[in-house]
Amino acid sequence: MALQALQSSGVAFRKILSHFPEELSLAFAYGSGVYRQAGPSANQKNAMLDFVFTVDDPVAWHSKNLKKNWNHYSFLKVLGPKTITIVQNNYGAGVYYNPLVVCDGRVKIVAMNENVSLRSALDKNLKSAVTTAFLMLPESFSEEDLFIEIAGLSYSGDFRMVIGEDKTKVLNIVKPNIAHFRELYGNILQENPQVVYKTQQGRLEIDKSPEGQFTQLMTLPKTLQQQINHIVDPPGRNRDVEETLLQVAHDPDCGDVVRRGLSAIVRPCSMKQSIKGIFTGGVKKSVIYSSLKLQKMWKGWLRKTS
């Protein structure tokens, strides 16, 4: 959900949640409206805020939100909360996206229920991001190198990076926010036995032996492991995933294989989600939102060539 911020960052973030039904498992905001970025988004006033709300019962939540915020939805609202939930869950990234919703305030993590499973999933996601980035990096690298790889994971294979997004987007996210990344991933890096983390120098060394890479590959999310297996395993052989990962661990191009597997996940998902956004956001809002993205891409291109 993209909310057009109308007030300054001093506004209490809880005020935003008062516009929506209370039953949220997790709510957070991200993007240039929350964290300072380099490039054309650096000094935007009234910047757009991107929010993610997670709920346990989408049908019940959309039912209440339709009553509270009927105008937030596209024409799909006339089909009711069940249809909205079907569109949300069965297409693209499993997200129902409402762009250009007028609201107020600025936040980071707004609310989180004490849900052990949710907390565990978030922690696991952070560790998976680090492991995936390790596999695509050399034996020695800087903190900035690592954080650029992590920030770029969700853009790997995303067709919007070809048209619609500033090509320096990932770098613009990372450079002004090294301290935030360090705070988020510091403990994971310090506790990982495969990493030598030289915090004073801001550098890291990772075990790139076949044994070390195999250990990392075996801790990747199952979906990514299966994509790697699909890429490497010739048709008809149907090898065990573990056997394929062992082969990849010995491959000098291991990082490239992981990147291809990641792209194979992101690419179709990003395309489906973008198409779905036309229906969930409505044609008019989608055109406006896309034009804003293209303007940012154009400014980034001009800045790079000037």
Counted domains in the chain: 2
What pLDDT, in 10s, does the model give residues 207-246? 999 999 999 999 999 999 999 999 998 666 777 899 999 9
Q: How far apart are CA 290 and CA 75, in angstroms?
A: 19
Which of these ranges, 86-95, 179-188, 209-218, 244-253, has the smallest mean pLDDT? 86-95
105 and 135 in a single domain? The answer is no
Residue 188: inside a domain: yes
Q: Is the pLDDT of residue 47 over 70?
A: no
Q: Domain limits at 16?
A: 2-112
84 and 177 in a single domain? The answer is no
Q: How far apart are CA 176 and CA 171, in angstroms?
A: 9
75 and 121 in a single domain? The answer is no
94 and 122 in a single domain? The answer is no
In terms of pLDDT, which residue wins out, 46 or 63? 63
9 and 131 in a single domain? The answer is no
150 and 94 in a single domain? The answer is no
Q: What pTM was computed for the model?
A: 0.71
Last residue of a domain, one of 46, 81, 112: 112
Q: Say if CB 269 and CB 153 are below 8 A apart.
A: no
Beta bridge partners of 112: 26
Among residues 175, 195, 148, 33, the alpha carbon closest in space to that of 101 is found at 33
Residue 88: inside a domain: yes
121 and 106 in a single domain? The answer is no
Could you tell me which residues come within 8 angstroms of residue 141 by beta carbon, excluding any fewer than 6 positions away?
203, 204, 206
163 and 241 in a single domain? The answer is yes
Q: Is the pLDDT of residue 33 over 50?
A: yes
138 and 80 in a single domain? The answer is no
99 and 167 in a single domain? The answer is no
What pLDDT, in 10s, does the model give residues 134-185? 999 999 999 999 999 999 998 886 656 655 455 577 888 898 889 989 999 9
28 and 144 in a single domain? The answer is no
Residue 298: inside a domain: no
State mean pLDDT over 108-119. Answer: 65
Among residues 243, 133, 148, 244, the alpha carbon closest in space to that of 194 is found at 133
